[in-house]
Amino acid sequence: MKRSLRMTLVLLAVATLWISPAQARPQSRSFRDDYNGWIYVHIAGDPLTRGNAYGYLVAAEIDDFISTLKTYLLKTTNKGWDFYRRASDKLFKGKLDLEYKLEIEGIASGLVEAGYNYDSIDIIALNAYIELSEYYLPSIGGKFTDSMPRPLMRCSAFIATGDWTKDGNVVMGHNTWDDYITGQRKRIILDIEPDSGFRMLMQTAPGFIHSGTDFALNSAGLLITETTIGNFKGFDTKGLPEFQRARAANQYAGSLDQFVAIMSDGNNGGYANTWLIGDINTKEIGKLTLGLKNVAFFRSKDGYYDGENYVDDSKMIREEVGPTFWTTDSNWPFNLTSTNTITARRLRWYELLEKNKGRIDAELGKAFLADQIEQSTGKFNPGGFVLMARMEVSDVPEIPGAPAPRPFGANDAKVVTAELARNMSFWARMGHPDGSTFTWDKFLKQNPSYAWQALFLQNLTNNEWSLFGSRDTK
């Protein structure tokens, strides 16, 4: 659906909704449920209503996340929260679709109602912090401090269909690599029942209107995940924010082509990802590598796509990424001499997916996302050369120049099949996908450079796999 048409529909729907926050939050249709490390939140209705309920129900978590980001961003980018507020106001506020502008205003009003002092600019900055800190800031000459390695490699993912899966339909999985002080807070399972578009179920962070991690599905049968493009450089200040395009694609795309069109329309280069998408109705999967200058889209009804921050498009590598993390060996991808997280993980994906052709289902997906075998050696290695990183226990950096050990790795895992998606549900595990635990006291004493994180780091605990699905009552 074109953005102008969506805006027209939203204008008609909200024309008479300028009422008080208390009236805009009908308790009977909005609720939260805490379970196995996750916070399931159901919101419904027009943008103001659902936004207000969302902000009110997770007010404490939004406050905690913004408070964490204020310290995290100042330490890692030398820019305070005021910088991110000003950039959000300048770059994004005027470009938001009315639907999302109202939803964000609703979130802010819910926070105020719960006793917290935030406004809509804070919520925009919250949603945009990744594209602002890692894409916009470098484009204007900003630099990251030595406190965190950049480029930051995020996530491992796969999607498969046809002869590769047990039932011949789509299976998708993803684990989120992130600094633990931010990744641990991305524990919301958000179920959005909007008054226009498709119903959505996604993993997200408190206060995000998009997934951000990314793992989402909609009631049209579309499955969505991604991994970041490693070492990407580029940002267009005239474009639309990535967080809005990602949310709109989740809410309004009913096919692979519609997803590609919405994500590409107004692309600003922010949070540049390789998107893995599946359509359970056609049993087709796609891979959209969305740069700024270059876009590559592949599709298949019989095969798989892997995600580990890799780029297949040679033109994109030359113009937007650089050869730093990619081998030029003509035998790629079967060159085992590469020593970085991207090539090591891709080789492991090939081994696991090829070996399990015709058997891939939810249980195998769970096992893949907890895998810690380094393919080139065949040995267990819990560091950054495997599909499930645990950099807190590794002294070998996964990319050149990165510190090790450090508080970074896989924070969670999610798996969905076509059968689950038909019922608007997926499996999720908060914490390390293998269930391993970690306590920070000794680590922080031995690695004092991370002492500034002590107030924000939570011990890594073992939470079981949980099945989450859309529901209308608690």
pLDDT given at position 231? 84
Q: How many whole angstroms separate alpha carbon 400 and alpha carbon 397?
A: 7
Q: How many whole angstroms separate alpha carbon 105 and alpha carbon 47?
A: 9
In the CATH hierarchy, which top-level class contains the domain 24-468? alpha beta
> For 237-294, how does the pLDDT look when each residue is reduced to its tens digit (9 = 90+)?
999 999 999 999 999 999 999 999 999 999 999 999 999 999 999 999 999 999 999 9
pLDDT given at position 424? 98
Contact by Cβ (8 Å): 37, 463: yes
Residue found under tokens 């249709």: 29
What are the C-alpha distances in Å from 213 to residues 171, 275, 307, 395, 413?
18, 12, 13, 26, 11
Q: What is the pTM of this model?
A: 0.92
The list of the chain residues with pLDDT below 50 reads 1-2, 4-25, 28, 327-337
One-letter amino acid for residue 472 of the chain: D
pLDDT given at position 145? 65
pLDDT given at position 34? 97
pLDDT given at position 329? 42
CA dihedral sign of residues 9, 15, 21, 24:
negative
pLDDT given at position 333? 42
Q: How many whole angstroms separate alpha carbon 418 and alpha carbon 169?
A: 6
Residue found under tokens 């502008």: 101
Domain ranges for the chain, please list them.
24-468
pLDDT given at position 18? 36
pLDDT given at position 20? 40
pLDDT given at position 60? 97
Element (H, E) at 203: strand 200-204
> For 464-473, how does the pLDDT look when each residue is reduced to its tens digit (9 = 90+)?
999 999 999 8
pLDDT given at position 114? 96
Largest CA distance in the chain: 64
pLDDT given at position 24? 36
Task: Give the tokens for residue 174.
Answer: 């993803």
DSSP structure string for 261-287: HHHHTTB--TT-EEEEEEETTTTEEEE
Could you tell me which of 369, 412, 367 has the C-alpha nearest to residue 37?
412
Looking at residue 254, the DSSP 8-state letter turns out to be -
Q: How many whole angstroms separate alpha carbon 391 and alpha carbon 411?
A: 11
Q: Which long-range contacts (CB under 8 A, 24 or more apart) does 183-186 make?
A: 183/411, 183/412, 184/411, 184/457, 184/458, 185/61, 185/64, 185/65, 185/68, 186/212, 186/213, 186/411, 186/412
